[in-house]
Amino acid sequence: MGSRFSIDSGCYMTSLAATIFIASLVTFGVLMVTLLIAISTMLQSCENKNSGIIQVQRRLVVDDESLSYCRILSLHSNLNSLDEEELPLLCRDVALQRIKQGIYLRELNFTIQMVLTYFKTIKPGNDNRDVVVMDIDDINLIKQEVYIEEAKHQRSKLILELYSKLRSQGYSMVLLSRNSTAEQLKSRGYSDWSGLIMREDARQKEELERDYRIVGVIGNHMDVLTGQRSWQSKRLFKLPSLTYNDIFGLQ
């Protein structure tokens, strides 16, 4: 019959080589899964950032609309002498947000620089009769948040610095207040003022205008600057105040 043998094609692999091969496949698979997870995470992060940008832009638009809305309400509240506390909570939140964002202090800084720039263009006379009247009273928001207390502190510091700079330029300073005493003023850092008059005392105001030249009046409130009897002054300056109407630009 004869003999026959055949050779089967194939690949012989030892157990060690097979183990290494399988381990390599597993490692490659793990690396691929890790890469896919990393790519997925990066895409998700980018999506969240883009979403955040859109949300911030939308919120700023809403804030602008809210500010316009609150300015209208505040204006009519002012015209009818309504209590500021009657404003909607939304408007109080908008006002507080403007303080938190530093807008109030930026406006105060700008106004103070405008005052200083003006007084650099003029000089007091040699007869010591040129007077600057400064209203040092202010009405504060009744809030205890840290950022509001910081705004109050910075405001007091900036106004005192303004007072000191004007006095150092040779101007006589007259302070205007409702009920502040000399001791209270000294405790706040004021000194060497030429006079202290009460806001409601029309006689003191008339005497001051008769005996001195009022070259500037700096006040926190419109009723002080342009009340029933306006000051006979060359220039009036309105400092931003920490009230709702003032924060909306209507006081």
pLDDT tens per residue, range 104-117: 899 999 999 999 99
Amino acid found at 203 = R
The predicted model gives 170-197 an average pLDDT of 91
Structure tokens of 230? 């306006």
How many other CB atoms sit within 10 Å of the CB of residue 238? 18
Given a cut of 90, is residue 166 above it in pLDDT?
yes
Pick from 19-28, 81-90, 235-244 the range whose average pLDDT is largest: 235-244
Q: How far apart are CA 28 and CA 26, in angstroms?
A: 5
Residue at 9: amino acid letter: S
Task: Return the closest-CA partner of residue 245 out of 79, 84, 81, 64.
Answer: 84
Q: Two tokens at 19?
A: 């183990």
Cα angle vertex 152, ends 148, 155, to 5°? Answer: 135
Has residue 181 got a pLDDT over 50? yes
Cβ(251)–Cβ(135) under 8 Å?
Answer: no
How far apart CA 100 and CA 150 sit, in angstroms, is 10
- Given a cut of 50, whether residue 54 has pLDDT beyond it is no
pLDDT band, residue 37 (cuts 50/70/90): low
Q: Give the distance, in angstroms, between the CA of residue 239 and the centroid of all CA atoms in the same chain.
A: 15
